[in-house]
Amino acid sequence: KQEVTQIPAALSVPEGENLVLNCSFTDSAIYNLQWFRQDPGKGLTSLLLIQSSQREQTSGRLNASLDKSSGRSTLYIAASQPGDSATYLCLLDSWGKLQFGAGTQVVVTP
């Protein structure tokens, strides 16, 4: 059974610092991995999707990497801004078996 872990559960950084968010998984037989952000009381917004065959994806200040051998994906957010404050979640698609991590709550202080 796939286990998905996001550590830390919460993170606070000053504006301008780079953010590094981790998503660990136990079974490397995945189809893809998707990163989302969730604002309080709202639905999820897709950030990046990495296919199993890819090593990384980039969009603006965001970069996501995938290392299946070590069971880890990392989301980097460069030069953080207060508007980046949210909960960040990873979703693993293990060929139709879908599982989210519990999320990392990020606060970026001005």
Partner 1 sequence: DTGVSQNPRHKITKRGQNVTFRCDPISEHNRLYWYRQTLGQGPEFLTYFQNEAQLEKSRLLSDRFSAERPKGSFSTLEIQRTEQGDSAMYLCASSLGLAGENIQYFGAGTRLSVL
Q: Which is nearer to partner 1, 14 or 43 (CB)?
A: 43
10: which residues sit within 8 A by CB, 6+ positions away?
104, 105, 106, 107
Residue pair 69/84 in contact (Cβ under 8 Å)? The answer is: no
* b/e 16-27 (16+ beta carbons within 10 angstroms → b): eeebebebbbee
What character string, x for contact with partner 1 (CB under 8 A) and - otherwise, covers 66-105? Answer: -----------------------x-x-x--xxxxxxxx--
Q: Which of residues 2-41 bind partner 1 (CB under 8 A)?
A: 4, 6, 31-32, 34, 36
DSSP 3-state of 49: strand
Judged by CB under 8 A, the residue of 51, 58, 70, 109 near partner 1 is 51
Provide the binding-site residues for partner 1, judged by CB under 8 A.
Answer: 4, 6, 31-32, 34, 36, 42-46, 49, 51, 89, 91, 93, 96-103
